[in-house]
Amino acid sequence: MKRPLVTPLPKDASQEAKELAGFYKETLGFTPNSLFTMMHRPRIALAFQEMNKAVMENKGRVTSALKRLIAYLSSRTAGCRYCEAHAIRAAERYGSEQDKINHIWEYKTYSAFTDAERAAFDLAIAASTVPNSNNDEISENMRKHWDEGEIVEILGVIALFGYLNRWNDSMGTQLEEPAAEDGDRFLSGKGWTRGKHKY
């Protein structure tokens, strides 16, 4: 794309925009451009922020680091380079082990991953594929390793990033430099580029 579909609003365009900027600066270290395209309709941006908080809140075994690795696999499956870079950056910031980040696509056989994590990653890929490829085998494996509340948390992450993948790839959101640097650092060896998100 030659430019994003919609130009983000300035981060100080309104009081709501300033508050939104502050929240995401804490979680990612910068404010995502995607939020400021949403801010053209503030209720969408604020609803997204609330959904993000609810989905990423930890209730037990589904850790912040695991949620971000699920988000990465979901985004990679959907093909959103913008969200891949954000998710892998967040995985490191929220405590994912370097070894797991480096070997995420070998999760089925790599010894650092548990069977419970493998089940969650299988669901992330199946649920992010179009058409959706979740099936009885994947579902049964999820029930074997996670309780119903945990499954809701995991699928919440996948669904949240499904929204973000559609938003950012359709919008052609410009990738912020800190996320681009982490994309280059962690993912370029796996074929990642900024793609349509570089202007």
Kindly report, residue by residue over 67-82, the tens digit of the pLDDT: 999 999 999 999 999 9
Which tens digit of pLDDT belongs to each residue from 14-29? 888 888 888 777 778 9
At residue 77, the pLDDT reads 98
pLDDT at 12 over 90: no
% of the chain at pLDDT higher than 90: 87
At residue 20, the pLDDT reads 80
Decide: helix, strand or coil at residue 129.
Answer: coil
At residue 38, the pLDDT reads 95
pLDDT at 83 over 90: yes
Task: Compute the mean pLDDT over every residue in the chain, rounded to the nearest whole number.
Answer: 95
At residue 138, the pLDDT reads 98
% of the chain at pLDDT higher than 70: 100
pTM for this structure? 0.95
Which tens digit of pLDDT belongs to each residue from 140-188? 999 999 999 999 999 999 999 999 999 999 999 999 999 999 999 999 9
pLDDT at 104 over 90: yes
Q: Where are the domains of the chain?
A: 63-190
Which DSSP helix (H) or strand (E) runs through 51? Answer: helix 42-56
Q: Which residues contact 143 (CB under 8 A, 6 or more apart)?
A: 151
Question: CA dihedral defined by 63, 65, 69, 71, rounded to 10 degrees?
Answer: 70
At residue 13, the pLDDT reads 85
At residue 164, the pLDDT reads 98
| DSSP structural state of residue 69 | H
Which tens digit of pLDDT belongs to each residue from 47-63? 999 999 999 998 889 99
How many helices (DSSP H) and strands (DSSP E) are in the chain?
A: 10, 0
Please identify, in words, the CATH class of the domain defined by 63-190: mainly alpha
| DSSP structural state of residue 8 | P
